[in-house]
Structure 1
Amino acid sequence: MATASQPAISRFPVPALSDLPADIRERIVAVQEKSGFIPNVFLALAHRPDEFRAFFAYHDALMDKPGNLSKAEREMIVVATSNANQCQYCVIAHGAILRIRAKNPLIADQVAVNYRKADITPRQKAMLDFAMRVAFEAYAVGDEAFATLAQHGFSEEDAWDIAAIAAFFGLSNRMANVMGMRPNDEFYTLGR
């Protein structure tokens, strides 16, 4: 229940941890043990257990896989596209993860505000340009976009990863905004 000093984390019902199916409860407890708190996204999405499972299965498949994109670069995609989608939750939460994965306390803020002026490599800028195109003009992605990525060392499989992350977090951003999902206070100081 929200109070004046602690606003609701979602406009939809948030189940108690003890009321959740065992697999979801175990995942949330594991995250809590690792990070020291429960990110609100876990509790808010637990409102619909089947969707929770599907969401996090796809999230993990995209964000935790090995490949040519580093974990920090994957988070850059999330932060840049989430800012463009005006998703406070994802910018704050994934900004914290980006600071930790990049081992750079400035990079997440720079990428969130304007990745084009951030202290990133030309390769990373090309990656984010492609991600933004997917996020807002997927219908216009053509051979030239793939050629630009290739000039920066990205394969077609990398392009798929960039596109999938931008697209998946487009869904996440929209749901977080509709839910009024509030970032945990802990995220604001992580990695600084």
Structure 2
Amino acid sequence: MKHPISRFPVPELGKLPDDIRQKILEVQEKAGFVPNVFLTLAHRPDEFRAFFAYHDALLLRESGLSKGDKEMIIVATSGANHCLYCVVAHGALLRIYEKKPLIADQVAVNYRKADITPRQKAMLDFAMKVCLDSAAVGESDFAALREHGFSDEDAWDIAGITGLFGLSNRMANVASIRPNDEFYLMGRAPRAGG
């Protein structure tokens, strides 16, 4: 049985604007498949461009956060927002970046019990407060981050990633974006020959 990847229309790749088609083909070349979120968001080209511009600005910039840290924020907050797509897709990336096959499941369910460092727990404490009660974020939250070597710019990154994926989580839930089957196994076992 073939399950739909979205409750909204999914455009044909050949009918998309050139820049969006090119971005999707680049992702396909790198990953070996097209993540369903790309096809779903391509339904609205201007919003696709805006979302991925902010996504890339946050996730690809040099900062005090590693690629694994950024994915850990996404997985923990997406778990809190009950977003299956983002937990599964970004859980795969988290497992790969951290080279830990158990970490994504632990972080998605309860990061406080996960096999992560005190620094990562402080980072996720801040991210979860931004996710669940951003109005209560205060100076003591920034001070707690500083105790673990995070700068105020890192705090901005943590908040920005949490905020962007708050949007992503809600849209993925509303659109019923189905995680690609490929994501479920990625990073769970060592790669052949690697």
The normalised TM-score by structure 2 is: 0.96
Aligned residue for 1:152?
Answer: 148
1:24 deviates by 0.4
The alignment-based identity, stated in percent, is 71
Q: Deviations over 1:90-137 (max 9, x none)?
A: 000000010111111111111111100000000100000100000111
- Cα distance in 2 for partners of 1:154, 1:6 equals 45
The answer for the alignment partner of 1:133 in structure 2 is 129
- Matched letter for residue 17 of structure 2: P
Compute the displacement of 1:65 (Å). 1.1
- 1:4-19, aligned counterparts within 5 Å? 5-19=1-15
Tell me the distance in 2 between the aligned counterparts of 1:100 and 1:165: 19
Instruction: Find the partner of 1:78 among 74, 78, 81.
Output: 74
Measure, in 1, the Cα distance between the counterparts of 2:136 and 2:148.
20
Query: 3-state SS of the aligned residue for 1:182?
Result: coil
1:52 aligns with 2:57: no
Q: Amino acid of the residue matched to residue 103 of structure 1? A: K
Structure 1 match to 2:160: 164
Structure 2: gaps of 5 or more residues: 189-194
Name the CA distance, whole Å, in 1 between partners of 2:117 and 2:67.
15
C-alpha distance in 2 between matches for 1:68 and 1:15: 38
Q: Give the counterpart letter for 1:35 in structure 2.
A: A
Shift of 1:154: 0.6
After TM superposition, list the pairs within 5 Å mapping 1:16-55 onto structure 2: 16-55=12-51
Give me the whole-angstrom Cα distance separating, in 1, the residues matched to 2:29 and 2:138: 44
Q: Distance in 2 between matches of 1:101 and 1:63?
A: 13
CA–CA distance in structure 2, aligned partners of residues 98 and 65 of structure 1: 17
Amino acid at match of 1:52: F
Alignment-derived partner of residue 123 in structure 1: 119
1:175 counterpart residue number? 171
Equivalent residue for 2:187, pick from 170, 178, 191: 191
Query: Alpha carbon RMSD of aligned pairs, Å?
Result: 0.5
**Which contiguous aligned blocks of 4+ residues in structure 1 show a shift greater than 4 angstroms?**
none
In the aligned structure 2, how far is the partner of 1:155 from the partner of 1:68? 8
Q: Name stretches of at least 5 consecutive residues in structure 1 with no aligned partner.
A: none
State the Cα distance separating 1:58 from its structure 2 match.
0.5
| C-alpha separation in 1, matches of 2:97 and 2:60 | 12
Cα distance in 1 for partners of 2:61, 2:98 equals: 17
* Cα separation, 2, equivalents of 1:114 and 1:137: 17
